[in-house]
Structure 1
Amino acid sequence: MTKASVPGGIPTGMDLMQNPRLNKGTAFTEAEREAFGLIGLMPEGIDTEENRLKRIMLQLAKKSTDMGRYIFLQSLADNDRTLFYKTIMSDPVRFMPIVYTPTVGAACQTYGHIMRRPKGIYLGINRKGRIAEILRHWPEKDIRFIVVTDGERILGLGDLGTNGMGIPIGKLNLYTACAGVPPRMTLPVMIDVGTNNEALLRDPLYMGLKQSRVRGKDYDDFLEEFVQAVQEVFPRCCIQFEDFANVNAVPLLERYRNRVSCFNDDIQGTAGVAVAGVLAALRITGKPLTEQRFLFLGAGSAGTGIANLLSQVMHQAGLPLEEARARCHLFDIEGLVVESRNDLASFQRPFAHKGEQLRSFAEAIEALKPTGIIGVSAVAKAFTQEVIEAMARLNERPIVFPYSNPTSHAECTAEEAYKWSEGRAIFASGSPFPPVRIGDKTLVPGQGNNVYIFPAVGLAVYATEASRVTDGMFITAARAVAEQVTQADLDAGLIYPPLSGILEASVQVAVKVAAEIFKEGQARVPEPEDIELYIRSRMWRPSYKQLL
């Protein structure tokens, strides 16, 4: 085959080598090198995919920090997307903390300094009226997933403006690495409405609009234009809202959840992984869900999202919904959330109960006697020795979930929880912690990472082309995750499946969620005879494409 007769649509020469979706580097075959004008543009040796991976591992080993590894891997994704995913999927336990939490938090804090090549779409509010036009600039025309943020509440780090683009990029990396969603069908989007971070506004390397955040009607109108433009340009796309501040996160979800295919991972994904952790933890305690009582440190969208989903699951277990809600209590910077407070948002009201507005979290534990505490406050070390010891005194196996990310914002460490509870705490955190030796036993901390939920839900939504994403799908996902925890896992202290098997775990969760989608009548494709076979057939795998 001559260069003139190469398959249509495939670039040649350096253009092909600079296309991350098609580039194979030194793994191009002899025939491909001849056909696509690559002779002389690389060494004569022809690599296997395995050798390409070995070379990447050698280069990564020379990096001395996780930030250096993060930058290296993102540059690899810009150059050879297949090899990037082959790398991170080869060892999820090793690479997920690098491409996502906790490293992505540090990356976002300095994103304007470390950025090599822009990724995704940036929608500045100064371009109002042109969003559909801008979305059409994206080269891929069949986008199925957009992760979008406005950068105002990045992890527990606050307003990072457009530096928060690292979060949508990282989330979409995990859609593919953990569930096989085709990367060409994903798109990270940054809504740039300014920032109130004065340090960024003074930073000459900050790449966003250097103005205060736009609020009110102009903001709402811009988001409305965005959602409508997505429906016009990418009609089969699901929108994931990510790291919006509480003032916008809950209203956005309520405004659009029944109009378009969308969800908020901070609210629904976090809730799903928390419910999964609780269901698995109860296999250790041997106590029914209907007898549990939970106290949340943090009363924002994440805390209320978990409380809402837990209440629904308790209701399914037999409790009246109001009684289920009465077993979920919130605690914020002003103290216990009670109905007499006049500073509460509407989404907090269902969990504002009668009682005294206690100002101490430890006092609230003594008064309410919860069986589990869940931290979504981003306040480091808030689960003090007094708190953990009180939980251990009130419960034989206290449930302690410090879910805040990144690691530096966790409410306590695994070592603290185990040490102060004499090894009796059932522990899970948002970011990873190393195993802890207590007496003659090694306890392995669980990581309540949303990665158990959102990629699998995403795979099911992608495969079924679901028209809506419902709470029922997240409840189904939570149950499916909990079902995969073995007795051996529980004996080691794990209440989530091992991350090393996350791809297969996601498949099993996606199968259950897809069945729920068909049951709810949300699918836009016919129901297959074998849902698992169908799900697997839709998955992308990191293998070089044969170009001839």
Structure 2
Amino acid sequence: MLSRLNLAVRPCVYVCRCVHTKEKGKPLMLSPRTNKGMAFTLRERQILGLHGLLPPKIETQDIQALRFKNHIERVQDPLMKYVYVMGILERNEKLFYRILIDNVEELLPIVYTPTVGLACLQYGHIFRRPRGLFISILDKGHIKSILDNWPETDVKAVVVTDGERILGLGDLGVYGMGIPVGKLTLYTTCAGIDPRVCLPVCIDVGTDNENLLQDPFYMGLYQKRDRSQRYDELLDEFMEAVITKYGRNTLIQFEDFGNANALRLLKKYQERYCTFNDDIQGTAAVALAGLMSAQRLIHKPITEHKYLFLGAGEDRPEPLDGYQKAYAHPAPDQMGNTFLDAVHVLQPTAIIGVAGAGRLFTEEVIRSMGSINERPIIFALSNPTDKAECTAADAYTLTEGRCLFASGSPFHPVTLPDGRVFHPGQGNNAYIFPGVALAVMLIGVRSISDHVFLEAAKALAKQVTDAELSKGCLYPPLAKIQEVSVKTAVEITEYLYENNMASEFPEPQDKKEFFLSKMWKTDYESFLPDIYDWPKSATKIPNL
């Protein structure tokens, strides 16, 4: 009898033991990683202790996404849209990314440029809960233990900023954390990289922004920026702590470091770590891709163009850096003091704005470019929108639709009086860095050369169709961003293997399928292991 009893009840005892070794009840709904809202099935609710904690309706993710869409359409203020959208990330991670992927053209300007700049300016005022890891100069000597506090142990990608040059907004200190958070949401949205392997980091060494030092809501150190040797020692310790904990191939992306440190740190770390600076390499690659697309319409190699830059990467009084001097030329004696004078005298075929100082491509400048060139190239690349050198409407209208235009921030389509409609291309780094990250993370790259970004630029330009070019768009539609990232990753991977820079073997034969198979999915998963299927086949416990 005893043996028969043991055989009869053992399955039930095993089921109960499984339930108590898993997270149960309200904590499942409080964690954005596990929360499914009203999409928890009846069986999950009963077994995981959720029954009664939710309304009785079982919803699909489709209905949840529709509820979001109905609500966001009623929110007009961009900052409030940002708060609402990021609030979903804090509650339900899979729903957040499902919404972002389905509405990428509408929502990318909210979670990234330009609205993320406004969110950084107001970071302490709209703060809900912290995201990412904050490391201050006071933590020097203890960074490894701080990394140990991060709950995820399998980190493969880190995006780090010190907040000194946030977009075109300047020194925002720890308020700049919105940038690493935003960049990593694009890792997942644009390239399907699992958010669990992504870590946003803000390095706080103080701020020289007097307004923030007087702001009661500021959340960082109330001190001037530490520009001593301790800064370099802190960064060195950080880099070593990351690879010690997570591995030598961990990708570390630098974002929005100031002019004094950005290029210097890139040169210092580029060959020692798997790292890149998106403001330097990503921006250059996306701009180059736009020029490659433009040459298909002009039928003139980019090497034969004359480029006139407005600004040298950011507006500042310091002399040009060494790497910039190679591209600078003495001004002709007859040239005046304005940018318009430079256009008249130098007769450029392309003007590229990177000054971050607002509408400096004036009506006279744009008209002059149109009179000099049949198809003038006008790139207004400064961010956010109010820092752009001109609007898309100005560029197309004042050149009668003949210009080839790209911007750093998004602009709406432009309709000319004759009925022609142009879709301005956004030279968005999101076309570049997610594909680069996807390739180097999965192929096991120890260091990232500048050639990787050249390959990325060529891969991006190849994906612009003739039909898209005819509408004035120098980049593929953002709606195709995941497809763009995968194709870019494939081209980069071909280059990495051909040049013995990959460490993942055997080499995938079908690289596109390889990347697609690794991409994170937004579908909800069941929390119940197979053991919970037992009662379906055994409707009752056997008689004793």
In the superposition, the TM-score normalised over structure 2's length comes to 0.91
Shift of 1:3: 7.3
- Pick the aligned partner of 1:280 from 293, 298, 304: 293
CA 1:7–1:149: 2 relative to 1, 3 Å: farther
Structure 2 equivalent of residue 376 of structure 1 = 354
Unpaired stretches in structure 2, ≥5 consecutive residues = 1-11, 529-544
Task: Supply the distance in 2 between the matched residues of 1:162 and 1:8 (Cα, whole angstroms).
Answer: 40
Shift of 1:9: 6.8
- Pick the aligned partner of 1:113 from 108, 122, 125: 125
Task: Supply the distance in 2 between the matched residues of 1:429 and 1:120 (Cα, whole angstroms).
Answer: 30
- Pick the aligned partner of 1:291 from 292, 301, 304: 304
CA contact (8 A) 1:10 1:16 kept: no
1:13-54 residue CA offsets vs partner (Å, 9 max, x unmatched): 111111111111111112211221111111111111111211
Shift of 1:12: 1.1
CA contact (8 A) 1:373 1:399 kept: yes
- Pick the aligned partner of 1:387 from 326, 350, 365: 365
Shift of 1:344: 2.9
Shift of 1:354: 4.2
CA contact (8 A) 2:165 2:171 kept: yes
Superposed, 1:381-420 pairs within 5 Å as 381-420=359-398
Structure 1 equivalent of residue 73 of structure 2 = 61
Task: Supply the distance in 2 between the matched residues of 1:8 and 1:501 (Cα, whole angstroms).
Answer: 44
CA contact (8 A) 1:22 1:545 kept: no
Superposed, 1:184-203 pairs within 5 Å as 184-203=196-215
CA contact (8 A) 1:3 1:35 kept: no
Shift of 1:7: 6.7
CA 1:174–1:62: 2 relative to 1, 3 Å: same
Task: Supply the distance in 2 between the matched residues of 1:3 and 1:115 (Cα, whole angstroms).
Answer: 42
1:388-415 residue CA offsets vs partner (Å, 9 max, x unmatched): 1221122110100000010010000011
SS class of match (1:112): coil
Tell me if 1:179 matches 2:191: yes
- Pick the aligned partner of 1:216 from 228, 234, 248: 228
CA contact (8 A) 1:120 1:189 kept: yes
Structure 1 equivalent of residue 277 of structure 2 = 264
Task: Supply the distance in 2 between the matched residues of 1:35 and 1:432 (Cα, whole angstroms).
Answer: 48
Task: Supply the distance in 2 between the matched residues of 1:277 and 1:410 (Cα, whole angstroms).
Answer: 17
CA contact (8 A) 1:123 1:192 kept: yes
Unpaired stretches in structure 1, ≥5 consecutive residues = 302-331, 335-341
CA 1:201–1:488: 2 relative to 1, 3 Å: same
Shift of 1:297: 1.2
- Pick the aligned partner of 1:472 from 442, 451, 458: 451
Structure 2: which amino acid aligns with 1:517? L
Structure 1 equivalent of residue 483 of structure 2 = 504
Task: Supply the distance in 1 between the matched residues of 2:491 and 2:526 (Cα, whole angstroms).
Answer: 33
Tell me if 1:244 matches 2:257: yes
Task: Supply the distance in 2 between the matched residues of 1:113 and 1:183 (Cα, whole angstroms).
Answer: 26
Structure 1 equivalent of residue 49 of structure 2 = 37
Task: Supply the distance in 1 between the matched residues of 2:21 and 2:392 (Cα, whole angstroms).
Answer: 53
Structure 1 equivalent of residue 90 of structure 2 = 78
CA contact (8 A) 1:261 1:468 kept: yes
Shift of 1:356: 4.1
Shift of 1:144: 1.1
Bigger drift between 365-374 and 404-413 goes to 365-374
1:341-399 residue CA offsets vs partner (Å, 9 max, x unmatched): x9332222221334448532222223332211111110111111221122112211010
CA contact (8 A) 2:212 2:218 kept: yes
1:303-350 residue CA offsets vs partner (Å, 9 max, x unmatched): xxxxxxxxxxxxxxxxxxxxxxxxxxxxx767xxxxxxx933222222
Structure 1: which amino acid aligns with 2:260? V
CA contact (8 A) 1:181 1:462 kept: no
1:229-269 residue CA offsets vs partner (Å, 9 max, x unmatched): 11111113101100011111010100000000000000000
Aligned length: 511
Structure 2 equivalent of residue 433 of structure 1 = 411
CA 1:333–1:161: 2 relative to 1, 3 Å: closer
Structure 1 equivalent of residue 158 of structure 2 = 146
Task: Supply the distance in 2 between the matched residues of 1:135 and 1:369 (Cα, whole angstroms).
Answer: 54
Task: Supply the distance in 1 between the matched residues of 2:276 and 2:316 (Cα, whole angstroms).
Answer: 27
Structure 1: which amino acid aligns with 2:363? Q
Structure 1: which amino acid aligns with 2:377? I
Identity %: 48
Superposed, 1:347-362 pairs within 5 Å as 347-356=323-332, 359-362=337-340
Shift of 1:290: 2.2
Shift of 1:508: 1.0
Task: Supply the distance in 1 between the matched residues of 2:176 and 2:310 (Cα, whole angstroms).
Answer: 25
Over aligned residue pairs, what C-alpha RMSD do you find? 1.7
Structure 1 equivalent of residue 319 of structure 2 = 343
Superposed, 1:432-451 pairs within 5 Å as 432-440=410-418, 441-451=420-430
- Pick the aligned partner of 1:156 from 147, 163, 168: 168
CA contact (8 A) 2:19 2:47 kept: no
SS class of match (1:114): coil
Task: Supply the distance in 2 between the matched residues of 1:284 and 1:439 (Cα, whole angstroms).
Answer: 23
Shift of 1:60: 1.9
Bigger drift between 466-475 and 74-83 goes to 466-475
- Pick the aligned partner of 1:544 from 517, 521, 524: 524
Tell me if 1:492 matches 2:471: yes
CA contact (8 A) 2:406 2:425 kept: yes
CA contact (8 A) 1:53 1:87 kept: yes
Structure 2 equivalent of residue 323 of structure 1 = none
Task: Supply the distance in 2 between the matched residues of 1:400 and 1:10 (Cα, whole angstroms).
Answer: 58
SS class of match (1:263): strand
CA contact (8 A) 1:71 1:114 kept: yes
- Runs of 4+ aligned structure 1 residues displaced above 6 Å come to none
Task: Supply the distance in 2 between the matched residues of 1:522 and 1:43 (Cα, whole angstroms).
Answer: 54
Superposed, 1:290-329 pairs within 5 Å as 290-300=303-313
Shift of 1:293: 1.7
Bigger drift between 245-254 and 466-475 goes to 466-475
